[in-house]
Structures are given as C-alpha cells and as structure tokens.
Structure 1
Amino acid sequence: MSRGRVAPGRKVESEVVDLGEFRFESGEAIPNLQVAYEAYGEFTGDNAVVVCHALTGSQHVAGHGSGASVSGQARAWWSDIVGPGKAIDTNEYYVVCVNVPGSCYGSSGPASDSPDGEPWGVDFPPVTVTDWTRAQRLLLDHLGIGRLHAVVGGSVGGMNALDWAVQYPDDVDRLVVVAAAARLDPQCLGLDAVARRAITTDPNWNGGDYYGDDSPDPEGGLGLARQIGHLMYLSKDSMDRKFGRRSAGRGGRGDTYPADPAAAFFPYREVESYLDYQAEKFSERFDANSYLYLTRAMDDFDLSEGYESDSAALAAFEGEALLVSFTGDWHFTTEQSESLAESFRRNDAPVAHHVIESDHGHDAFLVEPEKVGPPLDDFLTAGVAGRAVTDTLADSSEPESEKDFAPVHSSLFSR
C-alpha cells in the first residue's frame, strides 16, 4: 500500500508502494505492481543513491525495518557499507534499495497474491533485469526523485546498475558496478540451469503450485540449488581454509538429503555440514519459484542486446563509472570487469577499474567491507579522481614507486 510522496528531508523506513499496471518486457502485464523499498537518510534534491541488491538479497540493505522473519543475506546484507559514517554515508546521501519484481520480500512475484486472491505461482510473468530497472525508476518517480547521484550494485545488482546506464543514461551521475559483468559465461549459465532443475525435479515443486498450508514446499530442491550457488560464490582457497578435508563426524547428517548405505562408513565432512546448514536456512527464507525467476533474469541479461557492442550500449552514458572486481572471484572475473572498463574507455567515459586482491571468491564484496569501502566512499565523493580509487590502465603505465594507494580507514565501518 502506498503511503504517499516522500517529502524532502523526511526519514523513511520500510514501505510498499502500488505502482499500478505494469507491462513486463515479455509483453504480459499485471494490474497492480507492488514494490517494497527501504530508504535511509534525508533527501535534499541531489543526493539520492540507489543500491541494487544481489540475487537473493532484499531491500533491507542496512537492516532498518527488517523483521525477525528476514534473515541471512536478506537482512542488513551491506550494513558495513551503508549507514551513518559508512562508505555510503546515510548522513550525506538518501539511499534507496528496492526489492526487485519476482522476488519474495514484499514486491510482486510468484508468491504474492494475484487478482483472484491466490498466489501467482508460475502464472506470474517472466521478469528481466530491465523490468527491475523500470520498476525502480517508477518508484523514484513516485517519490519525487529525478536525477541520481549514483546507482550502486553488486553481483546481479551490478548488472541492474549497468542497465540503468543503458535505460536511463541521463538520470545517473555516477555508476558503481561491484563483482559483476556484462553477461554470464557458459559455465555459470550451466550451473544455474542445474540449480533450477534441482527445484523443478523436486516432487513437491508440483509444477510451481505448492502454496497453501496443505502443500509441502520444495525445500529439498531449493536447498540443492542454494548449495550449488554457494559453491559458485566461494574460491578454492577460501574453501580449503574454511573446511579443508575435516570431518564433522559420522552422525550429523540431516533428513533432507538421504545418504547412500555406504555413507555410515565414511566421514560426514565439514564442507557437507556447511552446505546442508546453508540449504536449510535458505529454504526457510526464500521462495523456490522466485529463485527460478531471478536466476532466469540474471542468465538472460546481456548488456549488448539490441546494440552492436557493449560500448555502443553504454554510449549515451556521460557520467563516471567505478568497476570493482576481486582476484579470487571466478563467478565474475577481473577479466570480465576489465572488458567492461574497455567499453567505457572506448566512449571516452571517465572510468576506473579497481581490482582488489582477495581469496574470498565472489562473496568478497559482502565479507570484505574494509577493502570495498574506501574506493566506494572516495568515488561517491570525488569520482574517478578519488584518492582510494585505482585503475588498471594507470597501474599498468606507472612505475611501482609512483603508485599512490590510500590507506584503509577502519573508522569508515564503525558501528
């Protein structure tokens, strides 16, 4: 339910807005698109920052308004980056994060009610990243927000941010794309396909019709999909450090995934225990159909679709861009970010590709705020000229002794 236009200076917590009829890229429409958002700080007219959440994240980027039912990555998922005195300083910026259509944290999606009062299920229209971008723009129009100081996104949220530069290039001053790419590579596409099949082959999925008190959820399939995802998000080094080949004992297996008879002889390893725990917690908070919808949207995204190249797609964007990648991330690699940087450079756009040394895999953008925060903070303040912002092009041409790297200021992340 809409609570009306947000007046300048008003502090906002969690709300849900009805945007009316919405036609998706597929051509299908729903009569009432509801979007849940969370906002922080005071809007002064030129200080709005949109943060785009990752695949199974939520609008609760810094935690305000998060109820007990919201847990894991969905609750306060970037609170070390967003907040008073943090890199995205809510004392300075008006920060808005929107739960994307197709998700399950308040915005319209498969688990939300259709006009007949029953959950949409798989009758909900297919969603794309551009549908997310358009819904965000409509919400900002409702809030009375025009041009944005910045759009920031990590993982598929970074794809969402890139799409802003294509769909609304005149509305964004600064763009921050963290651990993302112009498109998924075939390996990631294949792993996502296997994850979806884990859900759709669970008998409890029931063709997507499992809502209601008498219908069991496809927890087993959704849990397996999440386990595949976790393996994609971690690096070999981080897994070796975290688990090694250590045993968690022989009696700790749960009931969700039956073990083969020989399992009693062999150890139940810590890595298995971790994956089973993550599967259980994720199945408690997320909707299986939403997982199908959102991974389809991520897989479908291709920055150059409809254009001759990535640089052609970005040609109308005249703002500044910061790309952040991590050396241990094989999901979205530094090479993919460098390719994006080259696309901006071909358009003579001010861009910096800031590479962070890390062995935490794709999860680094969530778990290493002390490395992500300084360049992000400085970029929002000073653009690519920010002192903590580095660029691969400059790094390759400067002698080592002339490089100027800013120290990490832990005070940026004090609570």
Structure 2
Amino acid sequence: MTVSLGSFTFQCGETVPEFEVAYETYGEFEGDNAVLVCHALTGSQHVASGAREAEGTAGQARAWWDDVVGPGKAIDTNEYFVVCANVPGSCYGTTGPASENPEGEPWGTDFPAVTVGDWTRAQRQLLDELGVGRLHAVVGGSVGGMNALDWAKRYPDDVHRVAAVATAARLDAQCLGLDAVARRAITTDPDWQGGDYYGDEGPTDGLALARQLGHLMYLSKDSMERKFGRRSAGREGGRDRFPSDPAGGFFPYREVESYLDYNASKFTERFDANSYLYLTRAMDDYDLANGYESDADALAAFTGEALVMSFTGDWHFTVEQSHDLEAAFEDADVPVTHRVVDSDHGHDAFLVEPENVGPPLRSFLDSGVSTDGGHAPVHNSLFPG
C-alpha cells in the first residue's frame, strides 16, 4: 500500500512536492496496540507474510522477519497492529532517487539528502494518516534500531516502549570507513554516470562490490569459517581469475567467493545503486547525541521503557556499544533491559536467530522491562518449545 503525504521537506531544507510512503500492516488496530517495525538498510516494508493488501514487494525483499512477526509469534499480529514503512530514499515504493521528479524524470542524485530523522518524521506522518496516535512500541534492528532510538528522542511522548536490536547510538570509525569504500565502489563504476544511469544497465559491478563489503561486515570470523573455511566451490570461472592462471584453473574458486558473487548478483537485481548511496549516508550521519550534550540528554524526555539487544559475535554493532546505550537510558532514568545473546553469527544474528530474538522481544512487548536485570546471555535452552 502507498499513501501520499503531499509536500515533504527534508532536514536538509529541500522539498519534494509529492511524497509517497509505501507500507504494510498486519493485524487489527484497537487504539493502543500499534507496533512500528523499522527495517534495516536494504530491507523493505515486507516484514512478514500475510500483509494486508501487499503490493509490489514479491521478489524485491522477502518477508525478512517472518519468524518474528505474525500470528502467535514474538510480535503477535493476533494481539498487535503492526506497521512497517519503507524509508525515504529507498526503492521499494517510498519516494527516492529512482522515483519521478515533477518533470517526469528520475530524481537521481538531485534527490534531497536523507537522514534517519527524515525516516522518523515520514513514519510519524504515515501513522497520522492511519489514525495511529501513541505507539505501544517501536522495534528496529541494525540501522532500523537507530530509527527506533530516534523515535525515543524525537517523539518521546508518542511511544511507550522502544526495542533497539543490534544497533548503536552511532557508527564507529571502522564502519564509517567501510561504508565509504562501498560508496566509492559505486561512484567509480563508469556506468554510474554521476547517478544519471536510469534506462541503462547502471553500475552493477560497483553495487555488487558494495554489497559484498556489506556481507563481510555482517558475518563473524567464526561463522565464515564454519560456513566456508578454505573450501573450493567445486567449479571454475571465478570472476577475478588471476591473469597468469593456466587454462583449467590453477587457483581455486572458493566457496566464500561463490557466496559473495551469488548474493551480490541477486542484490543488484533488486536494489537501486543511488538508494544504496543515500541510505548508507543516512546511517553514517546518525548520531543520537546530535543537538544534545550526551546520549542521555537526548533521551531525557522519553518516559517509556527500553530493550537493548546485542550479539556477542557482532562486530558491526558491538556488545560494548549496546552497553553504552543501556547506560545512556539509565542515566536518563529510563527503565531498560539489555539482553546479550551468545552468538557467533555476527551482525546477521538478529535476522537468522529468531529463537533467540523472539522470546526477550515478546516478553518486553507484553510486560515491559525485566525485573531480573536482563544482562545474562540468552541461550536456546532458556526458552524451550
């Protein structure tokens, strides 16, 4: 589904005269049971199967949290009215660089600069259109967790509970650097054409490289060793064959290369390169404390409760960064639980370990902050059945 918000002015000061937001809803609205789910960097509004009147998402971005959102699941759509909106600057129906400008041409890089704050403001306007006032909860993972934190900062009276999963108050220097390299892979691809590539093939090689860097950021050393090791993929034809490699292939094409090549190829079929540039810039720019003296000051007006969830194998958004978030909530006198999940899956754990993510999330949505302190690692054995 798509709704027009009319004219929308971005934080950079530029305005899009006709701004649309694509969204999906699940469950029935009962006045005080709305839960906003914020998607990660290249996700979509298609958070789960069974969306009401879903349009245009099949084959674009799968139901990315289908094991967490749905009837009887952690975010129970029998109980909660779930809304997920595609963020400004993306390419799954919400207005972004690939959308038409007033002259009927793609915006390209003339599209206004986008921030996480713009995502939050667009979501607030969407919810107004849907008749949703105060939210029961906002839940988000990765940069979607930054989006959730921004709700506590920007609209502290509009949300009762905030769940920030595998995220941080800001990116560290290493992740900023990797994102910069990923963007340069796109912008140095000759087919990028300064962002004016629509109608042509576009910078598929650059976008593929950017996505491969992303995959390396999302996996841990342990998970990569377990999945790939140094094994050969069992076939020849790796795209980066060494020039002096004899016919028949002297150097192996390894499983890790095959995995990266396959996933990058699939990604370039579904995602827009300019959107990748815009959304990574928004993530890099986000700083919870911006405009305040500290993270705690930014959260001081929030009167609800918070859940912070981190994963031991995640080096993209670390457990230490989540401890800092927990401390910021505590300093702001916000009741908070920090769940540390013992995992070697890396950053992707919040997507691929629903058995670990679901139970603490369900408990938090239903009952609020745990009275047990919430600091013990989460193991499967703690949540039988």
What amino acid is the match of 1:290? Answer: S
Partner of 2:374: 391
Please, which of 302, 320, 334 is the counterpart of residue 317 of structure 1?
Answer: 302
Q: Counterpart of 2:157 in 1: which secondary structure?
A: helix
Please, which of 114, 120, 143 is the counterpart of residue 127 of structure 1?
Answer: 114
Please, which of 356, 366, 378 is the counterpart of residue 381 of structure 1?
Answer: 366
Partner of 1:408: 383
Is residue 369 from structure 1 mapped to residue 354 from structure 2 by the alignment?
yes
Question: Contact 1:42–1:94 at 8 Å: present in 2 too?
Answer: yes
1:66, distance to aligned residue in structure 2 (A): 6.1
Is residue 259 from structure 1 mapped to residue 244 from structure 2 by the alignment?
no
Q: Counterpart of 1:207 in 2: which secondary structure?
A: helix
What amino acid is the match of 1:241? Answer: R
Q: Counterpart of 1:173 in 2: which secondary structure?
A: strand
The separation in 2 between residues aligned to 1:66 and 1:202, in whole angstroms, is 32
Partner of 1:111: 98
Question: Contact 2:300–2:333 at 8 Å: present in 1 too?
Answer: no
Please, which of 150, 168, 184 is the counterpart of residue 181 of structure 1?
Answer: 168
Partner of 2:290: 305
1:217, distance to aligned residue in structure 2 (A): 1.5
Render the CA deviation track for 1:265-321: whole Å, top value 9, x for unaligned.
200000000000011000000000000000000000000001000000000001000
Question: Contact 1:60–1:66 at 8 Å: present in 2 too?
Answer: no
Seen in structure 2, the aligned counterparts of structure 1 residues 261 and 249 have a Cα distance that, compared at 3 Å, is farther
Seen in structure 2, the aligned counterparts of structure 1 residues 68 and 381 have a Cα distance that, compared at 3 Å, is closer
The separation in 1 between residues aligned to 2:333 and 2:35, in whole angstroms, is 24
Seen in structure 2, the aligned counterparts of structure 1 residues 404 and 196 have a Cα distance that, compared at 3 Å, is closer
The separation in 2 between residues aligned to 1:271 and 1:25, in whole angstroms, is 40
What amino acid is the match of 2:294? Answer: S
Question: Contact 1:50–1:150 at 8 Å: present in 2 too?
Answer: yes
Render the CA deviation track for 1:70-111: whole Å, top value 9, x for unaligned.
34xx21000000000000000000000000000000000001
1:249, distance to aligned residue in structure 2 (A): 3.3
> What stretches of structure 1 of length at least 5 have no aligned partner?
1-14, 397-402, 411-415
Partner of 1:203: 190
Please, which of 151, 155, 158 is the counterpart of residue 164 of structure 1?
Answer: 151
Is residue 338 from structure 1 mapped to residue 323 from structure 2 by the alignment?
yes
Q: Counterpart of 2:269 in 1: which secondary structure?
A: helix
Is residue 284 from structure 1 mapped to residue 269 from structure 2 by the alignment?
yes
Question: Contact 1:159–1:177 at 8 Å: present in 2 too?
Answer: yes
What amino acid is the match of 1:260? Answer: F
What amino acid is the match of 1:360? Answer: H
What amino acid is the match of 1:44? Answer: E
What amino acid is the match of 2:125? Answer: L
Q: Counterpart of 2:264 in 1: which secondary structure?
A: helix
1:407, distance to aligned residue in structure 2 (A): 3.1
Partner of 2:17: 31
The separation in 2 between residues aligned to 1:120 and 1:96, in whole angstroms, is 27
The separation in 2 between residues aligned to 1:157 and 1:373, in whole angstroms, is 17
Identity %: 71
Render the CA deviation track for 1:15-65: whole Å, top value 9, x for unaligned.
100100010010000101100000000000000000000000000000332
Partner of 2:59: 70
Q: Counterpart of 1:232 in 2: which secondary structure?
A: helix
The separation in 2 between residues aligned to 1:35 and 1:339, in whole angstroms, is 33
The separation in 2 between residues aligned to 1:135 and 1:61, in whole angstroms, is 18
Seen in structure 2, the aligned counterparts of structure 1 residues 66 and 355 have a Cα distance that, compared at 3 Å, is farther
Question: Contact 1:53–1:59 at 8 Å: present in 2 too?
Answer: yes
1:348, distance to aligned residue in structure 2 (A): 1.7
Residue pairs, 1:48-59, within 5 angstroms: 48-59=34-45
Seen in structure 2, the aligned counterparts of structure 1 residues 261 and 66 have a Cα distance that, compared at 3 Å, is farther
The separation in 2 between residues aligned to 1:67 and 1:16, in whole angstroms, is 10
The separation in 2 between residues aligned to 1:405 and 1:56, in whole angstroms, is 28
Partner of 1:273: 258
1:251, distance to aligned residue in structure 2 (A): 1.4
TM-score of the superposed pair, with normalisation by structure 1: 0.89
Partner of 2:79: 92
What amino acid is the match of 1:222? Answer: L
Question: Contact 1:66–1:75 at 8 Å: present in 2 too?
Answer: no
Question: Contact 2:195–2:274 at 8 Å: present in 1 too?
Answer: yes
1:258, distance to aligned residue in structure 2 (A): 4.8
Q: How many residues align?
A: 379
The separation in 2 between residues aligned to 1:130 and 1:259, in whole angstroms, is 44
The separation in 1 between residues aligned to 2:379 and 2:319, in whole angstroms, is 21
1:150, distance to aligned residue in structure 2 (A): 0.1
TM-score of the superposed pair, with normalisation by structure 2: 0.95
CA RMSD of aligned residues (A): 1.8
What amino acid is the match of 2:64? Answer: W
The separation in 2 between residues aligned to 1:57 and 1:95, in whole angstroms, is 16
What amino acid is the match of 1:56? Answer: T
The separation in 1 between residues aligned to 2:271 and 2:167, in whole angstroms, is 23
Is residue 152 from structure 1 mapped to residue 134 from structure 2 by the alignment?
no
Question: Contact 2:46–2:57 at 8 Å: present in 1 too?
Answer: no
